[in-house]
Amino acid sequence: MSQQLFNDLVTLTSPAHAGRNAGSDEPNISAQFLYERFNQLGLQTQYQRFSFKSGFSSQAFGHNVVAKLPCNTERCGKAIVVSAHYDHLGTKGSKIYAGANDNASGTAALLAVAQQLKNAKRFYPVILLATDAEEKGLHGAKHYASQINKQEYALNINLDMLALNQKSTLYVMHSRTAKPYVDVLTRLQADDFKLKLASSPQRMRRLVGTERVDWLKASDHYAFHRAGLPYLYFGMGEDKNHHSVKDTIEQIDFEKYQHVVNFISDFMVALLDCPLDCTS
């Protein structure tokens, strides 16, 4: 496994990050770490502070970390925003919720994608968005989506829970409007895992075999969907350790995870290299 990807996972799940709980007045250690990493990669990076309601009456603050890669070709398409929430559940007493799969896996993948796209040909501007306060109600993504001009955006790609389990299946749920981008995806080869596409949340529910989960509202893509953007959501389906203290780095099958991250990176490179009319 790539050393950098592994190191990022280790850092995000370390006790120092204390379960990456959202709601501090200043950017927490995880936000600062991401800011630094994007900066090191040479990306223009900013915090985006927002407030959200926590509990019945009190207000709390969250901090998205927003990194940009401009289009570097003559003709440019609309922006693609790749999102992954970095927050998790924090601590309870002496117990730390490391949130390795949920969603250190997506966050470390976001950094790997940034690294990969940095030197790629980019027909689209890319925004790498590490969102905060997803666990408390998708607040970071909702805030981001509330302040964009929809006309300037082509697509949201959301990464949440990428550490494949024994089923070795990566699910991609997408809006119907995202179909042209899915066509780019299906031209790629998935190594050592199965790729399953779901063209609706209902289809996703049937594929994963989960009655309870509303996959549309389950993660940040919902905020972009509500804002009218096409979306693609990448995830491993249902994790038996979801929101438990057992969601630790020890549970991650690194080889499978690496394959998934490589696949998503390859997809992003292919997507950005695609002449503007290739998706229409």
Binding residues for Zn ion (CB under 5 A): 102-103, 160
Measured from the CB atom, is 158 or 279 closer to Zn ion? Answer: 158
Measured distance CA(15)–CA(32) in Å, rounded = 15
Cβ atoms of 231 and 174 within 8 Å: the answer is yes
Cβ atoms of 46 and 66 within 8 Å: the answer is yes
What's the closest the beta carbon of residue 75 comes to Zn ion, in angstroms? Answer: 36
- Each as own residue / partner, the long-range contacts of residues 194-198 (CB below 8 Å, 24 or more positions apart, any chain) are 194/167, 194/168, 194/169, 194/170, 195/169, 195/170, 195/263, 196/169, 196/170, 196/171, 196/172, 197/171, 197/172, 197/173, 198/171, 198/172, 198/173, 198/174
What's the closest the beta carbon of residue 87 comes to Zn ion, in angstroms? Answer: 9
What's the closest the beta carbon of residue 157 comes to Zn ion, in angstroms? Answer: 15
Both structure tokens of 65: 């970390």
**Across the beta sheet with 58-69, what order do the strands follow?**
44-54, 58-69, 126-131, 79-85, 153-159, 231-235, 169-174, 194-198
Measured from the CB atom, is 102 or 132 closer to Zn ion? Answer: 102
What's the closest the beta carbon of residue 270 comes to Zn ion, in angstroms? Answer: 26
What's the closest the beta carbon of residue 181 comes to Zn ion, in angstroms? Answer: 22
Measured from the CB atom, is 83 or 175 closer to Zn ion? Answer: 83
What's the closest the beta carbon of residue 40 comes to Zn ion, in angstroms? Answer: 25
Measured from the CB atom, is 8 or 160 closer to Zn ion? Answer: 160
Measured from the CB atom, is 9 or 79 closer to Zn ion? Answer: 9
Measured from the CB atom, is 62 or 125 closer to Zn ion? Answer: 62
Both structure tokens of 61: 């603050």
Measured from the CB atom, is 113 or 161 closer to Zn ion? Answer: 161
Measured distance CA(156)–CA(81) in Å, rounded = 5
Measured distance CA(88)–CA(249) in Å, rounded = 14
Amino acid at 201: P
What's the closest the beta carbon of residue 161 comes to Zn ion, in angstroms? Answer: 6
Cβ atoms of 50 and 111 within 8 Å: the answer is no
